[in-house]
Structure 1
């Protein structure tokens, strides 16, 4: 990379119109890390859940309560399609968005998927701090979270990039994402011929 041009500018240019799409479980840090990543790269940050709430005129828990999960997922799919056409940006998705095959295909076409992978204990500790997670309003939230991890992690594993979300400085994770995106966009050339 040209040392006279800042790395973040080179990354933005290499992205073109593609979005950096953060995927992962609730509590993985998609919104928190996403905001910092967007700031560092000089891109817009978009939280898909907020956009879904704005489009529906109600909160996600209200959508689940009045319309059900299937209706929510259909709206999520439509909103994701609209958002992906607006890149480049950093886009934080809801935990179930990437599970939809149509959404995964759109992300592959119009973005770079980045899985913020977190261990069960980290996720459980984080989600307990923030009520309002409709999928965890069950008699056994820990069992529900373990089931969702078992269902979703094999799907998330198809992401372009995986970065471990853990406790510690957010900037360290942002730095890891930037390095991984740089490597993804400009793979090292093969040594020797």
Structure 2
């Protein structure tokens, strides 16, 4: 079975909550923070990339750099900067990644102001699986103390007007999924081929 959008084998993500997320002790880790509806209510980005594929690519990018990864769900916010910054503050290395269900992403560092970041990927419709892998790789390099070149991104001035209404609807739905008292939970994530 393949995804018609990507030409890749369709994958699913099995996500289990392990309990409240704590601060990591490892200096060689990245924490990936996902939004409330990521791989629960929503299963694809705004451009129809399966969210299981997004997770798989970020995980692979981090792993290729020899860095460990923890994944958490921020249940009480749909704000990307807050999700990424809170992930960074939980990370032993101080580096975190935040991803919203629609695909918008950010690499953050714990000592930066919440609205600052290391790298921002605001045009979700233009992000590809390769971009998500590179985001994982760069986050891992920052965790190792390196200074990688920023992930190359496409720019399309027409993407915003084309997707603005859809993005607004997705954000509204994501916000409806917030659990005000849910906090941040650590996740066990397994990626499998669909049907296996």
- TM-score normalised by L of structure 1: 0.29
Structure (1 or 2) with the greater helix fraction: 1
Structure (1 or 2) with the greater strand fraction: 2
Question: Over alpha carbons, which structure has the higher Rg?
Answer: 1
